[in-house]
Structure 1
Amino acid sequence: MMKRQALRVLAVVGLSGTLVTGCSGSSEDARRTDRPSASATSSSPSVERVPSKVQAAEKVKSAVEARLSADEARFGSGTNSPCSTSSPQVFTAKCEAAADATSGAADLALREIGGRQGFATLDSTARKVRAAVRTYGTLGCATGPTAANTRTACMEPAAVIAQGFPDLRSGANAGLLGK
């Protein structure tokens, strides 16, 4: 019984191989091999587009990274930022300078993207950073506000600014993946 099933499987596999490889030997088959297949011609344009998208993503990443590295070395980021909500400098000109640098990096990222597709994460992060910097400035956070409600309102944009450099870097990395 098992021998019969094994022979049946071999027969089916053998016939499948003949059908898949198309071994009919007709002159029509010979003519088809002279022309590129439809799949070969339709995939060529997408193959050409991929390198240009990759090049664009690498260009954006490189430009943004250079700016981020310089500004991050100068101002720090996260808990090392003067805009960290735990920093005594969060309500000073030092945080305002870091905010301006972070906003400048966000502006650079948006210019580098230039409306290209595949940078949704970087685009939304840059816009979020710019909005936080505007709010920080509008509230007068760098002038050492004394009103408790203003100080509290300054915390959210300050936190976004403090995390701005790493978030922009993550967005630029996501652009390499087309996100």
Structure 2
Amino acid sequence: MTRLFKGGGMMKRQVLRAVAVVGLSGAVITGCSSSEGADRTDQPSASSSPSVEPVSAKAQAAEKVKLVVEERISVDEGQFGSGTNSPCSTSSPQMFTAKCKAAAAATSEAAGLALREINGRQGFTTLDSVARKLQDAVRTYGTLGCATSPTAADTRKACLEPAAVIAQGFPDLRSGANVGLAGK
């Protein structure tokens, strides 16, 4: 290069300036396109490769159980309430009436739905336990005749436990379905 620019200082400066401008322009252009390109080419596109791992059959089953049970619970809970708002709450004057009996039947049906949905699958131990406990409580409530406003003190006292389980049934089923997502 020195031979080329011997005696031509002005020309040497112009060439160096041109090289510098081209180099700087290239760096700027490359820098911009690299950062933009990185967003486009360094990350896989949705069409070229999956960005989400496929959901396992077990996780799909757990999600389905949760959705089906939650849908049913929401309808029944909207109609009958739950916890202290349930007609089966031990503090409710409706605990010994047909209103609690209807709530108990709806709770038992929701528990039965949960049991049918899990159908012996692994990973639903909590939901299975809650659903069976609810069905037992509903049977006991019916066997004792709690909805007919029994007068015997022993019978009324015996109605308290199953009624409390029934009143808490919808939230317990919901929790059991949520725990099922974790495989428990």
Q: Which residue of 2 aligns with 1:116?
A: 121
Query: Structure 2-normalised TM-score?
Result: 0.71
Is 1:138 the counterpart of 2:143? The answer is: yes
- CA drift of 1:60 comes to 0.2
What is the rounded CA distance, in whole Å, between the counterparts of 2:93 and 2:105 in structure 1? 18
Residue 153 of structure 1 is aligned with which of 138, 153, 158?
158
Give the greater-gyration-radius structure (CA).
Answer: 2
Q: Does 1:105 align with 2:117?
A: no
Cα separation, 2, equivalents of 1:168 and 1:139:
24
Q: Which AA in structure 1 matches 2:129? A: S
* Matching residue of 1:170: 175
Which stretches in structure 2 are left out of the alignment for 5+ residues?
1-52
1:134 and 1:115 mapped to 2: Cα distance?
A: 22
Give SS of 1:84's match: coil
Aligned length: 132
Work out the percentage of aligned pairs sharing the same amino acid: 78
Post-superposition offset of 1:110: 0.1
**Matches of 1:152 and 1:144, distance apart in 2:** 12
- How far is the alpha carbon of 1:79 from its aligned partner? 0.1
Q: Which has more helix, going by share of residues?
A: 1
State the 1:75 CA deviation.
Answer: 0.0
Return the offset for 1:166. Answer: 0.1
Cα deviation digits, residues 1-52 of structure 1 (max 9, x gap): xxxxxxxxxxxxxxxxxxxxxxxxxxxxxxxxxxxxxxxxxxxxxx97x611
Distance (whole Å) between structure 1 residues aligned to residue 119 and residue 82 of structure 2:
26
Query: What is the CA–CA distance in structure 2 between the aligned matches of 1:136 and 1:83, rounded to whole Å?
Result: 10
Q: What is the match of residue 125 of structure 1?
A: 130
Tell me the C-alpha RMSD between the 2 structures.
Answer: 1.1
TM-score with structure 1 length normalisation?
0.72
Do residues 60 (structure 1) and 60 (structure 2) align? no
Separation in 2 of the partners of 1:116 and 1:51?
14
Deviations for 1:108-161, whole angstroms, at most 9, x for unmatched residues?
A: 000000110000000000000000000000000000000000000000000000
Q: 2:164 and 2:147 mapped to 1: Cα distance?
A: 14
The whole-number CA distance in structure 1 between the counterparts of 2:120 and 2:147 is: 33
State yes or no: 1:69 paired with 2:74: yes
User: Structure 1: any 5+ residue segments left out of the alignment?
Assistant: 1-46
Other structure's SS at 1:58 match: helix
Show the 5 A alignment for 1:26-45.
Answer: none
